Structure 1
Amino acid sequence: MSIKSLPNESMPREKLLSHGPSSLTNAELLAIFLRTGTQGMNVIELSDRLIKEFGSLRELFSSSKKEFCSHKGLGEAKYVQLQAVLEMTQRYLAETLQRGDALTSPEHTKLYLSSILRDRQREAFYILFLDNQHRVIQDEVLFEGTIDSASVYPREVVKRALHHNSAALILAHNHPSGVAEPSQADRRITRRLSDALALVDIRVLDHFVVGDGEVVSFAQRGWI
């Protein structure tokens, strides 16, 4: 069936305009991005097939250029568009945090950290350096390790925090295993960092652990 033969309320663009983006399925959202189908397959059918082939929308978005372009209906131009969309999303989230929402919108912070860390194949230790109004001064991956650990050195964290003239920090790291539950080692290094930074009047406000589908906040657990 051609997409033109579908009733207006079933067409992705019209559905989005009438009911909002949250009303669309993953296939319908992808169809808006792809715009056109292939011979014998309309764009919604193509989108549904691609999501099934990749396994999920997330797997499609995180695929390599070679893997992405190997599927019928996708090519280099679409890959470039997709990377641009993903980068714009990260920059939008980053700009919102820079306005001072790092603490007032913890869910927004989780979204941003998840977009940065979730799909990394190695454990990475990430820091948001904040001013005294809790606005983001700088953010960076300070340490990177193996698939299940990363060595974190309090001296280096203190050094970078002083370099950025930070008043506070938000810590984050990923678990490539996909399980976000913090380990005892995670709790120990958080305490060591908090103690070291307190000596120079810098507070650790939170530590987030990013998993496959969950982000755990130490502050929400009452651990900070």
Structure 2
Amino acid sequence: MLYIRDLCGFYEPAPKETILSEARRLSGYQFRRAAAISTPTAAKEAIGLKLVGLEYELFACLFLDTRHQVLAWREMFRGSINRNSVHPREVVKEALKLNAAAVILAHNHPSGSIQPSKEDLELTRTLTEILKVIDVRVLDHLIVGDEVVSLAETGHHTA
């Protein structure tokens, strides 16, 4: 249990939103430029903290260099509670702008489900094919719900 001090100096249990907000802030340190994302577990932990608990769908990309060091974390598209429109052209533009060699795709399901939809799988295939043309590898696509699922680990994506 995490406690916070109120205005009178007494400690009380921290609300869920306060905990998640602080976790997101601290996870930003893992995305500082040149930090290495060396394992799928590290990516899942860092990205999961960024996307867990949101009430809307958010599609984001973690752009990496040739040594899988962080170039940038970009929140690319924001949707509603159960739908988000992702425009591959914008992902390509950002990858080129950053001179990325690899990317980890990520989005959340506000419902908490980690089951990939057919649209999730199709988007992963589409972005993988398009980004391959400009020599950017899609390493994984993470779906954040009550847990974090890696499409690469479940066999839905091969890098």
TM-score bucket of the superposed structures, by smaller chain: 0.7 to 0.9
Equivalent in the alignment of 1:73: none
Cα deviations by residue, 1:144-164 (Å, 9 ceiling, x for unpaired)? 111111111112211111111
Following the alignment from structure 1 to structure 2, what is the Cα–Cα distance between the partners of residues 92 and 207? Answer: 21
Verify the 8 A CA contact 2:57 2:82 in the aligned structure 1: yes
Tell whether 2:152 aligns with 1:215.
no
The one-letter code matched in structure 1 to 2:68 is: H
Equivalent in the alignment of 1:68: none
- Decide whether aligned partners of structure 1 residues 83 and 195 sit closer, same or farther in structure 2, where only a CA change above 3 A counts: closer
Equivalent in the alignment of 1:130: 64
Cα deviations by residue, 1:16-45 (Å, 9 ceiling, x for unpaired)? xxxxxxxxxx1xx42xx43953xxxxx5xx
Shift of 1:83: 8.9
TM-score, normalising length from structure 1? Answer: 0.63
Contiguous gaps of at least 5 residues in structure 2: none
Contiguous gaps of at least 5 residues in structure 1: 1-25, 38-42, 51-56, 64-81
Equivalent in the alignment of 2:98: 164
Equivalent in the alignment of 2:112: 178
Give the greater-gyration-radius structure (CA). Answer: 1
Cα deviations by residue, 1:67-95 (Å, 9 ceiling, x for unpaired)? xxxxxxxxxxxxxxx79854652233324
Following the alignment from structure 1 to structure 2, what is the Cα–Cα distance between the partners of residues 118 and 83? Answer: 8
Equivalent in the alignment of 1:34: 5
TM-score, normalising length from structure 2? Answer: 0.86
Question: How many matched pairs?
Answer: 155
> What is the aligned-residue identity percentage?
39
**Counterparts of 1:182-221 in structure 2 under 5 Å?**
182-212=116-146, 214-221=147-154
Secondary structure of the 2:131 match is helix
**Higher strand fraction: Structure 1 or Structure 2?**
2
RMSD: 2.3
The one-letter code matched in structure 1 to 2:150 is: S
Select 2:31's aligned residue among 94, 103, 106: 94
**Higher helix fraction: Structure 1 or Structure 2?**
1
- Decide whether aligned partners of structure 1 residues 126 and 84 sit closer, same or farther in structure 2, where only a CA change above 3 A counts: closer
Secondary structure of the 2:68 match is coil
Secondary structure of the 1:99 match is coil
Shift of 1:124: 0.8
Verify the 8 A CA contact 2:24 2:50 in the aligned structure 1: no
- Decide whether aligned partners of structure 1 residues 119 and 131 sit closer, same or farther in structure 2, where only a CA change above 3 A counts: same
